[in-house]
Chains A and B, each alone.
Chain A
């Protein structure tokens, strides 16, 4: 058989055998298995064939993110033109076909979001490849989702070099030092976001960063700006909000690239629940947690402990359920909190973990003086506590079963032990 008749696939297989045991093998294998099913067969031991391997899991999450990504591109352009209109005194009414799904909007989104995506994947995978080659293990698929999440949780005008620095930090300190995919304590995407937040705060908050072009035009004659709803509320300018509830729900509002459309995030969340990739327990309990905290704050305003002279009034009096529609809460709950590596593993633990994420998100949102958003901080905080929660859930389970075992043995010894049994039950 001459070389010409070999298929590309066959050549890759041959090349793979050629590179076996070489230093660059992990890097080559990563590309090879990304394109083709490996030709290796397991030679010994029992093995399970499951369709939902790591790669399938990651791809499902990517699929759930695609609508959000495409919507975010349109929204980026829409917010840009809406801000220009607003600077000229025109209040835009959104109309899906007339002024939202247009090529102009999509073009602006494309040229701003695509570079973020490319830098995120390029730098992140480079770091992963370097670590795989140095440590001699295979490149894992973990970064596929992280690389997609990162651009979606950033302000649109984030400079690319900042993103690159943050990605290196996030992947190395957030993941590789703990031993790579599956071993990390903190969600890498949120580590990247937190790094950017603390390192370059001027690019992460204010009314200039959420709309494409606002930073460059600042101070000029054609200056545009766009404050997020949370920003308005935090400054006590709740009455200036021109967005309707449906704008908030469908996502025609300024915000981080992909966080605005609660509707599409909800669809993605349902897709993840029905494909059994993400935990519905975490999502539901996080929503309950957020609503609880929102209700508490609403009640505080209701009974008059906080009046409109307080700086917390704007955010505390905001209707509790609308917290779910604005900011990154929905995105965080659906795509970040449900990360199977950094979240709780036990079912009961998931309820506790999710509940506190919702609770903390709204709490930090209200009380954080400099930045009225707390979802990423809340999730990172609960990431740290997840192993502790799991530990006590498992301890509790062991104790309960020990008690049951004790009761069963006492019961088998006859009725004279009835008194002892009752005592053991009440312990």
Chain B
């Protein structure tokens, strides 16, 4: 017996490409623009969101039959807030420098549209296991874009990847810098992330014209 049924596999693979939360649903853009100047921050952010969505989905899915629909948003917010505070505290305890880099954006996971979107659209109508997979899948789709943008921005903006000087030392002029190469300051500022995300959307839609909306 396979680990996951075909339908369940779909829950994970679909958000990675044809139903990507960032490039197709255009959710969670704020954090994608704000924290992707460094790859490390992107990865941590992706993992944090993955934890929050997956666990939140499970909790909401378990409670889906007892939540009164009138106050469901508040219940969802309480769940997210609790999970986000957990993530925040863990980061502060074990990766203090990084939590300073991410600053307010860990707290702002609460307002990440992807999370409420998954609760509303999926967890309220499906069982815990499928909700868990859905959370993992969507967070992975989100994280994938974050990591792509993070790689591009850190590589061209700072000449490093995860802090390793892959293009040489920009101060002592080694590697590529000896040839006159210079870091692209534009990549550090958030508008660059918007353009990179835009280019990803462009490439994705020209590879799969079915994704282009009618207008």
Contacts and interface: CB of A to CB of B under 8 A. Distances in A.
Interface of A: 159, 161-162, 165, 173, 177, 195, 198-203
Contacts of B198: 177
A195 B182 contact: no
B180 interface: yes
A33 B180 CA distance: 39
B186 A199 contact: yes
Contact of A199 (B180, B181, B184, B202): B184
B180 A159 contact: yes
Interface of B: 180-182, 184-187, 189, 195, 198, 202
Contacts of A203: 182
List the 7 closest A-B pairs by CB distance, nearest first.
Answer: A199-B186, A198-B186, A199-B184, A199-B185, A201-B185, A200-B182, A198-B185
Contacts of A173: 195
Nearest to A203: B182
A202 B186 CA distance: 12
B211 to A, nearest CB: 17
A165 B187 CA distance: 13
B104 to A, nearest CB: 24
| Most chain A CB inside 10 Å of its own CB: which residue of B181, B184, B202 | B184
Contact of B180 (A161, A177, A195): A161
Contacts of B180: 159, 161
Nearest to A196: B186
A161 B187 CA distance: 17
A162 B180 CA distance: 10
Contact of B202 (A165, A177, A195): A177
Contacts of B181: 161
22 contacts: A159-B180, A161-B180, A161-B181, A162-B182, A165-B184, A173-B195, A177-B198, A177-B202, A195-B186, A198-B185, A198-B186, A198-B189, A199-B184, A199-B185, A199-B186, A199-B187, A200-B182, A200-B184, A200-B185, A201-B185, A202-B182, A203-B182
A202 B187 CA distance: 15
A199 B187 CA distance: 7
Contacts of A177: 198, 202
Given A199-B184, A200-B185, 8 more contacts: A162-B182, A165-B184, A173-B195, A177-B198, A177-B202, A199-B187, A200-B184, A203-B182
Contacts of A199: 184-187
| Most chain A CB inside 10 Å of its own CB: which residue of B180, B181, B186, B187 | B186
A337 B209 CA distance: 37
Nearest to B189: A198
A411 B187 CA distance: 64
A8 B50 CA distance: 66
Nearest to A200: B182
A177 B199 CA distance: 9
A198 B186 CA distance: 5
Contacts of B186: 195, 198-199
Contacts of B185: 198-201
A309 B28 CA distance: 47
A202 B184 CA distance: 11
A198 B182 CA distance: 13
Contacts of A165: 184
A201 B180 CA distance: 15
A77 to B, nearest CB: 23
A199 B158 CA distance: 11
A201 B184 CA distance: 9
A162 B183 CA distance: 10
A112 to B, nearest CB: 16
Nearest to B206: A134
A159 B181 CA distance: 10
| Most chain A CB inside 10 Å of its own CB: which residue of B181, B182, B187, B198 | B182
Contacts of A200: 182, 184-185
A177 B189 CA distance: 21
Contacts of A201: 185
Contacts of A162: 182
A195 B185 CA distance: 9
A114 to B, nearest CB: 20
A232 B202 CA distance: 44
A409 B184 CA distance: 64
Nearest to A161: B180
Contacts of B189: 198
A260 B174 CA distance: 37
A266 B189 CA distance: 37
Nearest to A202: B182
Contacts of A195: 186
Nearest to A201: B185
B173 to A, nearest CB: 14
